Structure 1
Amino acid sequence: MVSPAGPRSARPAPASRLPPVHALSAFEAAARLNSFALAADELCITPSALSHRIRLLEDFVGERLFIRDGRSFALSEFGRRYLDVVRSALRTLTDFPMPHRSAPAQPRVKVALPPTFARYLFVPRLAEFTRLHPGIVVEVFLSVPLYDLSLSESDVEVRFGAGNYPDIITEKLFEEPAFAVASPAYLAQVGPIDTPADLRRATLLRSALEPWQPWFEAAGLDWPEPSAGLRVDDLGLLLEAIRHGYGIGLTRLHFAESALASGELVRLFDVELASPPHAYYLVYEKPAPERAEVTLFIEWMKATFSNGQR
């Protein structure tokens, strides 16, 4: 790995020499993916080999390309300027027409999704994207809402949260009202729950993703956030806990629609939180749409999931 020390003392190479192309591609991949490990994987080399190529290029230019800060790293000021030159040069080489060249590798998009979004919304609609763009491979990774906040392993990510993600492009996909549900078996056990105030007799299932306190306000209850009882910070698991009769919880229609229709869940009251604190956002770094396949995927995601089209 590159050390955080200052510029190397090695003298720059003579002007007549060209920088090694394999080192240029290593530098571009590491800067684009913001990860030495992912860049090494993309180039089918070991991380140590990638670090060696970066050091080779730094020796050639006589400047630091990356500055390390603990476990993270960032482009140096010189590295940012040099990256534009390197990308332009590599693009020129890549775009030069070579009619006898074998077919290029299939374009792919790496997308990170919350588990429940992936299961209930994304996978049922992915066939449409595949039909529209059969030449693009989609690789799906799972991310934990409110915890996994790194884009280093994906081109595009869907986040379920408050939408405050500095330094990356953030576009709201949709939000949906939250409402209270329970299983018939739990209601038979706890007795009639006819009004929101009756919830004081019930077990309220907790989740950082669906806090109760905003819903309490919508219901006219001056109650604090519950501090005891089962807590589940996954919306799909929360719904399963409700279905199995562990208590009453908050959910949204696109998760619970099937269970409500089958009678596995019962919606309580007419109260719903029209604008919950968390919604779904599409996030990506500014350079991501420079690849055509990523642009197509972003446009499809927005057309599919924005403006209530789910």
Structure 2
Amino acid sequence: MPRRFPPVHALSAFEAAARAGSFAVAAQQLCITPSALSHRIRLLEEFVGDRLFIRDGRNLTLSAFGRSYLDVVVQALRTLTDFPLPHRTLSAQPRVKITVPPTFARYLLMPRLAEFTEAHPDIVVEVFLSVPLYDLCLNESDLEVRFGAGKYPDMVTTRLFGEPAFAVASPAYLERIGGIATPADLQKATLLRSALEQWKPWFEQAGLDWPEPMDALRVDDLGLLLEAIKHGHGVGLTRQHFAQEMIAKGEVVQLFDIRLEAPPHAYYVVYEQTSRTRPEVQLFIDWMMAAYPDSLRDA
């Protein structure tokens, strides 16, 4: 009969929860939901046939068995981590793993990334995608670009850049609704929604005492939001770097001269402090901080 081994993801969840003394904190560290972490703990408790934690309201303490089992788990995980891998060391290249929002990757990172790879051909760059506002925890990446409010506890957070937000629509849509001459005319338009580009600050800039729209299409990806605008679903807010190509082609047009100079959201570089100790990561961070302010000035 084959031997059964405890699931490694459950062991790491147990070790993280025991170290943090909190399921919520451990879940954040592992980039999973608290319910997912609780599920992993239950799975391990079913495997060992005993309780690992004693839960008393908000207090979380190890059971007597949990304390003794933790010593074994920590030692096992440390053995796996510290086991020498000579072949991997010999063949490993410096690499930087970066997680970015899809629209940033499409419009801002890929057109410039060759500058970094040509300057540092020995460094491998791995790009992963994340959905803004949904996954706010570093996973296995060395750094992230996040589009948000810039409030990320326990992380080094540096503003990369921000751009004014302005309203755009497709010519076909404007013709269909009879045109829009003033901001007040937006009352007859469908206002496309996004948690990333909220209307209320722009309304205030335009002198409109209107609430945030609560109906119509919502798209929480800025690239898809632009596609929805281009295809005539309504009026939406965007930024210059995303819309400039569509504006140049006449696929969308800017409405009014009103620009929200300081929108609530901007782009931030986010990473753990220890990431900067690796030279390749430091090089990539320095490159990003130098590259994007230049690109904004050239726009």
Same fold flag (TM > 0.5): yes
Q: Percent identity?
A: 64
1:105 CA displacement:
1.3
1:234 aligned to 2:221? yes
Residue 214 of structure 1: which of 194, 201, 226 is its match? 201
Q: Deviations over 1:44-85 (max 9, x none)?
A: xxxxxxxxxxxxxxxxxxxxxxx999xxxxxxxx9xxxxxxx
CA distance 1:170–1:309, shift in 2 (3 Å): farther
Match of 2:187 among 200, 204, 207: 200
Give the Cα–Cα distance (whole angstroms) in 1 for the partners of residues 213 and 202 of structure 2: 12
Give the corresponding residue for 1:49: none
Q: What are the residue-to-residue correspondences of 1:1-310 with 2, within 5 Å?
A: 1=11, 3=14, 103-306=90-293, 308-309=296-297
The structure richer in helix per residue is: 2
In structure 2, relative to structure 1, the CA distance for the partners of 1:216 and 1:35 (3 Å cut) is closer
Rate the CA distance shift 1:309–1:285 in 2: closer, same or farther, 3 A. Answer: farther
Task: Go from structure 1 to structure 2 and tell me whether the alpha carbon gap of 1:309 and 1:135 turns closer, same or farther (over 3 Å shift).
Answer: farther
State the alpha-carbon separation in 2 of the partners of residues 6 and 295 from structure 1. 32
Counterpart of 2:51? none
Structure 1, unpaired ranges of 5+: 8-33, 37-66, 70-77, 79-89, 95-101
Quote how far apart the aligned CAs of 1:305 are.
1.4
Structure 2 residue matching 1:287: 3-state secondary structure: helix
Task: Give the structure-2-normalised TM-score.
Answer: 0.71
Bigger shift: residues 245-254 or 299-308 = 299-308
CA 1:203/1:120 → structure 2, altered by over 3 Å: closer, same or farther?
A: same
Aligned residue identity for 2:118: R
Count residues with an aligned counterpart.
Answer: 231
Deviations 1:169-228, CA, capped at 9 Å, x for gaps? 000000000000000000110012000000001100000000000000000000000011
- Aligned counterparts of 2:18 and 2:158: Cα–Cα separation in 1: 38
Report the alpha carbon displacement of residue 150 of structure 1 after superposing the two structures with TM.
1.2
1:306 Cα deviation from its structure 2 partner: 3.2
Q: Is the 8 A contact 1:130 1:136 kept in 2?
A: yes
Distance in 2 separating the partners of 1:304 and 1:224 = 37
Query: What's the CA shift for 1:103?
Result: 4.7
